[in-house]
Amino acid sequence: MARLFHVPLSPYCRKVRLSLAEKKIEVELVEERYWEQDPDFLRRNPAGKVPVLRLDGQVMAESAAICEYIEETRPEPPLMPKKPEARYEVRRLVGWFDDKFHHEVTSRLLYERVNKKVTGEGYPDSKNVKAGAKAIKYHLDYMAWLLDHRRWLAGDQMTLADFAAAAHLSALDYISDVDWNRSQAVKDWYAKIKSRPAFRSILADQVPGFRPPPHYADLDF
């Protein structure tokens, strides 16, 4: 069986979990305290990060590379469109969320509030939290703008771009950092993706010391 070394609230791990679940690939989840840099773990991934996936007899790291590999070896159901222009747009948006959104929002909210506590690095820096809370508004508006003329973020089908975005937003929703009232279009999009069977394991996550808000796992939030 596939095995994923992960931490529950990592958006990169969640993106891989969503891909695996959507493709109906069974996986054993193993929580990895990657920040302790255990030598066994570093052998699996010299970059010292999660996710790390064991699949098809290989050990793989880097969530974008992993998701492309899953897509190439298990094309059904497709999480990438066929045309190069449309594939470009998916990859652009995956980069948008995993790079820009991560840098401006996730690292300033989730990492400040949760990771610092879990890894013993101390207290949240309120300047960062404030900047993250401001930046997420701009990103939600950008998503609303995309969804104004598209069914899903990258076009008419659900793709890895939706999973990348939902991975970040679901982790932030766990700590009540998403204002779902800002955009009906974004809320509807999230309700749609949240109700997929692939999302179940993510909605069942529990992080000791952090209790999610009641709406976190509610499909009619």
Q: Which residues make up the interface to its own copies (CB under 8 A)? A: 46-47, 56, 58, 60-62, 64-66, 68-69, 72-73, 84-85, 87-88, 91-92, 94-96, 99-100, 142
Write out the two tokens for 205.
């996550």
Closer to its own copies by Cβ: residue 46 or 209: 46
Residue 194 CB, shortest distance to its own copies, in Å, is 26
Place of tokens 């997929």: 196
Provide, rounded to whole angstroms, the least separation between the CB of residue 142 and its own copies.
Answer: 7
- Closest distance of CB 216 from its own copies, Å: 29
Whole-angstrom distance, CA of residue 153 vs CA of residue 81: 12
Q: Sign of the C-alpha dihedral, residues 118, 132, 48, 122?
A: negative
Do 86 and 155 form a contact (C-beta atoms < 8 A)? Answer: yes
Distance CA 59, CA 44 (A): 7
Residue owning tokens 């982790």: 171
Peptide bond into 51 cis (omega under 30): yes
Nearer to its own copies, 47 or 219 (CB): 47
Question: Of the two residues 22 and 98, which places its CB atom closer to its own copies in the complex?
Answer: 98
CB 157 within 8 A of CB 88: no
Residue 58 or 181 having the CB closest to its own copies = 58
Task: Give the shortest CB-213-to-its own copies separation in angstroms.
Answer: 30
**Helices (H), ranges, 96-182:** 107-110, 116-118, 126-148, 160-174
Q: How far is the CB of 161 from its own copies (least distance, A)?
A: 10
Nearest to 153 by CA among 216, 96, 207: 96
Question: Closer to its own copies at the Cβ: 54 or 192?
Answer: 54
Q: How far is the CB of 176 from its own copies (least distance, A)?
A: 27
Residue 110, Cβ neighbours under 10 Å: how many? 22
Question: Closer CB to its own copies, residue 96 or residue 174?
Answer: 96
Burial of 12 (0-12, 13-18, 19+ CB in 10 A): buried
CB nearer its own copies, residue 85 or residue 220:
85
Cβ at position 199, least distance to its own copies in Å: 25
